[in-house]
Chains A and B, each alone.
Chain A
């Protein structure tokens, strides 16, 4: 019985952690290149979910097409978001806090735009995965959780390969280490950053669809991204393997806290963890050195 509960908690935690990781990867990717906390990431996730929802309910497309459509929509929104709200600040080399405030403005704008036009109703996705469960000893896993977890892993692995193997990936990594130098080497920064936002938006789309299927679709669903920030900090801001590790760790730890201690204390616990990490280990588990330069 106890072992069963333990295993069940672990599995639930991992599946939530997988979604956290998906969100944290997009957030972390932007952070690593532009060095600011993109608070609009949650709003892009929300819009991705709405786009997926529209495709699934209006056009009754299958899961694969819904996911693809949502990735495309969220990717484009993220690129537009950068063009309109960040690019001029970036070119002016404004302090990262200004970018953060601009991002916050975008989040408020997009969220309330959805409120004002679509409304605050909660929508549900059609049941793509049914209610099938896989039994594992005394505990059971829903098919959705398995799919979300595996897909998160696969997508992050694909991104890792893209960044470590392709020319564009090399350019992104060069941009992470030194933007100015990177542009001197002939990299088109605008294009590079557009690609970064396209990737981040794509991940936001995936996260949005899985979040929407697992829970529901509503204007403030992007607020869960708070957890993605925490996951990214735990793993090390700007580090992709860190975002994955941080997401999984946060998901598991949170689920254990809410199962064994109390679900009320869960969020307080997560935020405390955030502060502890920032104070004691600001580079996270896998992050690189990030001293503020003089």
Chain B
């Protein structure tokens, strides 16, 4: 039972990060291969706060999320202002993520590559569920706001959106910061669940896994990526194969999704769409 519980918690933590990346990639149309770095910032910030300074857990979580948002400005401002081509942006943020990881491996306060053991495990299922629900609620409202509409407009056509008066740089930056905050929150929860964090947990592979969940789940969808990320975490555990073979299968899965179903599980639609469509039709009449 404990085992299943821990998988559910891990999956939910991962879903929060995927939710954040979904706002940035699925709705704003910018790909990132470095969001694991924001998870790392959230994890380390909150863990250091509770570990060394005995800050209350909730405050530490908030601080981790805020720190991740702040760090995203460092890479976001220069690259988004320069309006890099989307694939160059993905490589730039990849470089940023790797550089950050090397720094974490060499700072004294992060205990270097050996990692930070003995973080108190505050994260429980209710806390994770509250965070996830709040996250979905905020994301949904954000996407329905003016800002969200601007994000979607940019995804559809940056040039046309700019002509229509959407401020590209500001909107993209906002979307990046929001997504980084989600990742930071996810990192804080992760650190206080595993009670041990290490820089190698936040590599390019991790970033790819987040991005893959968003794409496998479907661009422009909230529920799709959440389902995909749950499957990505839970399925290998259920199959319980050796770690290496899991990664072999995971790599193969990425390729197969790209080759056979690039629009993902629920491209541009939601789990609830079917129901709401029927309802809307009724209202229209």
- A interface residues, Cβ below 8 angstroms from B: 35-37, 84-85, 88-89, 92, 94-102, 104-113, 115-116, 226, 229-230, 233, 264, 267-268, 271-272, 274-275, 278-280, 282, 290-292, 294
A-B contact pairs, 11 of them (CB 8 A): A85-B255, A104-B254, A108-B247, A109-B250, A111-B247, A274-B92, A275-B75, A275-B95, A279-B82, A290-B85, A292-B86
Flag if A106 contacts B91 (CB, 8 Å): no
Give residues 207-259 of B contacting A (CB, 8 Å): 208, 211-212, 215, 242, 244-245, 247-248, 250-255, 258-259
The one of B78, B99, B252 that contacts A279, using a Cβ cutoff of 8 Å:
B78
Interface of B, helix, strand, loop or mixed by DSSP: helix
The one of A84, A94, A109, A230 that contacts B248, using a Cβ cutoff of 8 Å:
A109
A96: chain B residues within 8 A (beta carbon)? 87
The one of B33, B96, B255 that contacts A109, using a Cβ cutoff of 8 Å:
B255
Interface of A, helix, strand, loop or mixed by DSSP: helix
Flag if A97 contacts B86 (CB, 8 Å): yes
Given A108-B208, A275-B96, 18 further pairs, Cβ under 8 A: A101-B215, A101-B258, A102-B255, A102-B259, A104-B204, A108-B205, A109-B255, A113-B248, A115-B244, A116-B242, A116-B244, A226-B98, A267-B98, A274-B91, A274-B95, A278-B92, A278-B95, A292-B86
The one of B90, B204, B259 that contacts A88, using a Cβ cutoff of 8 Å:
B259
A88 vs B88: C-alpha distance when bound (angstroms): 23
- CB proximity of A100 to chain B, nearest CB, Å: 7
Which 10 pairs between the two chains have the least Cβ-Cβ distance?
A105-B254, A109-B251, A108-B251, A271-B99, A112-B247, A102-B258, A116-B244, A105-B255, A274-B95, A271-B95
Please give me the residue from chain A that is nearest to B242 by CB atom: A116
Please give me the residue from chain B that is nearest to A113 by CB atom: B248
Q: Given A112-B244, A113-B248, A116-B244, do A104 and B99 touch, yes or no (CB 8 Å)?
A: no
Interface residue B31 (Cβ < 8 Å from any Cβ of A): yes
- CB proximity of B81 to chain A, nearest CB, Å: 8
A108 vs B248: C-alpha distance when bound (angstroms): 7
Task: Tally B residues with Cβ within 8 Å of A.
Answer: 43
A272: chain B residues within 8 A (beta carbon)? 95, 99
Interface residue B159 (Cβ < 8 Å from any Cβ of A): yes
A279 vs B83: C-alpha distance when bound (angstroms): 8
- CB proximity of A246 to chain B, nearest CB, Å: 14
A113: chain B residues within 8 A (beta carbon)? 248
A113 vs B250: C-alpha distance when bound (angstroms): 11
- CB proximity of B30 to chain A, nearest CB, Å: 10
Flag if A108 contacts B78 (CB, 8 Å): no
Flag if A282 contacts B88 (CB, 8 Å): yes
Flag if A37 contacts B92 (CB, 8 Å): no
Please give me the residue from chain A that is nearest to B211 by CB atom: A101
Interface residue B106 (Cβ < 8 Å from any Cβ of A): yes
The one of B102, B211, B244, B247 that contacts A267, using a Cβ cutoff of 8 Å:
B102
Flag if B106 contacts A271 (CB, 8 Å): no
A108 vs B253: C-alpha distance when bound (angstroms): 10
Flag if B245 contacts A97 (CB, 8 Å): no
Q: Given A94-B262, A105-B255, do A292 and B91 touch, yes or no (CB 8 Å)?
A: no
A34 vs B131: C-alpha distance when bound (angstroms): 42
- CB proximity of B240 to chain A, nearest CB, Å: 15
A100: chain B residues within 8 A (beta carbon)? 31, 33, 87, 90
A92: chain B residues within 8 A (beta carbon)? 262
A294 vs B82: C-alpha distance when bound (angstroms): 17
Give residues 27-64 of B contacting A (CB, 8 Å): 31, 33
- CB proximity of B32 to chain A, nearest CB, Å: 10
